[in-house]
Chain A
Amino acid sequence: MDRNHLKRQVDFMKRSLLDQGYLDEQFIQLEELQDDDNPNFVEEIVTLFFNDSARLLQNIEQALVSGPIDFAKLDNYMHQFKGSSSSIGAKRVKNECTRFKEYCTAGNAEGCFRTFVQVKQEHAILRTKLESYFQACISFIWQDKLDHLGLQEVKLDDYMDEGGSLIMDLYYKYDEAHMIK
């Protein structure tokens, strides 16, 4: 695929994520904080979010299924989770968190359970979508750099491991070897 096509793909995916409300303006802000000195900032922050949120979701789930519900504790966990969601611009996830907190405040256990399912679902969907998005970004950056060197297109599939993730080592070693900056 050529560079322009890949760029269009990235832009399209981002536009979709925004239009469909998965992400909001905050995500754009994060991208604006990325520069040559911090080229992976967004991906780092998002990775942090998903690591952190996995833990929080587990805590919330535990709190929901074990014994009498401690709404204050639930609210506290969800407050943290909502905060992180908001910080990365995860709009739909954040909105579900708000609904969950409302049920907590109302002491409505059933509402909490129902909404929690939604929270987990939105969280999982966003994770998948962002993984695709970052892969598209990497494809573009890769091709862009190769173009810059006047090299032929490289089939990225050759560099994908079984998990489908790009072998970043190769990418960085290539960078170092050719001192692209």
Chain B
Amino acid sequence: MGMAAEAQYHVLAVDDSLLDRKLIERLLKTSSYHVTAVDSGSKALEFLGLLEDDDALAPSVSLNDHHQDVDVNLIITDYCMPGMTGYDLLRKIKESKSLKDIPVVIMSSENIPSRINRCLEEGAEEFFLKPVQLSDVNKLKPHLLKGRDKESEPSINKRKGMEECYSHDKTRTKYDGLEVV
């Protein structure tokens, strides 16, 4: 494995709903991503090699060798989960030296502007309204490419407070820029 000329991007999907996990997995695989799906934030952190209350295990001192092979290019997580929410997970990832550069996308069935803003301000690249569709997954590519190239930090602009994000209905509003439609 791994000898392919073009390596696949590896996406970690986090959702407590089995149905939604199946769905996101299918969506991602259709787009040729390699997928690992877990059912909680803590399992996600475990997979990423980050123990909950500790700082990140630097790969070179990892106690568990297998984690050194884990190479995740993007994390897509549900917001509402029991225990650790998607937001909590996002924060932990952004606070971690080893993981903070991995792009994170949040999914939620609820269109709550303050929630969306909070996630974006905490560093989420995108916020998808559920049910997630293929058109949403198609928006992931640029973030994956950006993640690969660590020199381009996500622009600070997008974190300016956007008071109300409206949105919704059929069109998925992109929150990438400052534009409030």
Q: Which of A41-49, A60-68, A102-110, A173-181 contacts B (4 or more CB under 8 A)?
A: A41-49
Known: A33-B26, A79-B80. A88 touches B19 (CB 8 A): yes
Helix, strand, loop or mixed for chain A's interface? helix
With most chain B CB atoms within 10 A of its CB, the pick from A30, A38, A79, A83 is A83
Please state if A87 and B131 are interface contacts (CB–CB under 8 Å): yes
Please state if A33 and B131 are interface contacts (CB–CB under 8 Å): no
Please state if A49 and B19 are interface contacts (CB–CB under 8 Å): yes
Please state if B17 and A83 are interface contacts (CB–CB under 8 Å): yes
Closest-by-CB residue of A relative to B16 is: A80
CA gap between A1 and B23 in the complex, in Å:
34
Please state if B131 and A86 are interface contacts (CB–CB under 8 Å): yes
Helix, strand, loop or mixed for chain B's interface? helix
**Taking the complex as formed, is B133 at the interface, i.e. its CB lies under 8 A from any CB of chain A?**
yes
CA gap between A140 and B62 in the complex, in Å:
55
**In the complex, how many residues of chain B place their beta carbon closer than 8 angstroms to a beta carbon of chain A?**
15
Please state if A29 and B130 are interface contacts (CB–CB under 8 Å): no
Residues of A within 8 A of B17 (CB): 80, 83-84, 87
CA gap between A82 and B26 in the complex, in Å:
21
Closest-by-CB residue of B relative to A37 is: B29
Please state if A52 and B19 are interface contacts (CB–CB under 8 Å): yes
CA gap between A26 and B22 in the complex, in Å:
15
Please state if B19 and A33 are interface contacts (CB–CB under 8 Å): no
Question: Quick one: which of B19, B80, B109, B133 contacts A29, CB cutoff 8 A?
Answer: B133
Question: Quick one: which of A38, A79, A82, A87 contacts B19, CB cutoff 8 A?
Answer: A87
**Taking the complex as formed, is B18 at the interface, i.e. its CB lies under 8 A from any CB of chain A?**
yes
Known: A44-B22, A88-B19. A83 touches B134 (CB 8 A): no
CA gap between A38 and B28 in the complex, in Å:
13
Residues of A within 8 A of B22 (CB): 44-45, 48
Please state if A83 and B30 are interface contacts (CB–CB under 8 Å): no
Closest-by-CB residue of A relative to B109 is: A83
**Taking the complex as formed, is B35 at the interface, i.e. its CB lies under 8 A from any CB of chain A?**
no
8 examples of A-B residue contacts, CB within 8 angstroms: A30-B23, A38-B26, A41-B26, A49-B19, A80-B17, A86-B109, A86-B131, A87-B131
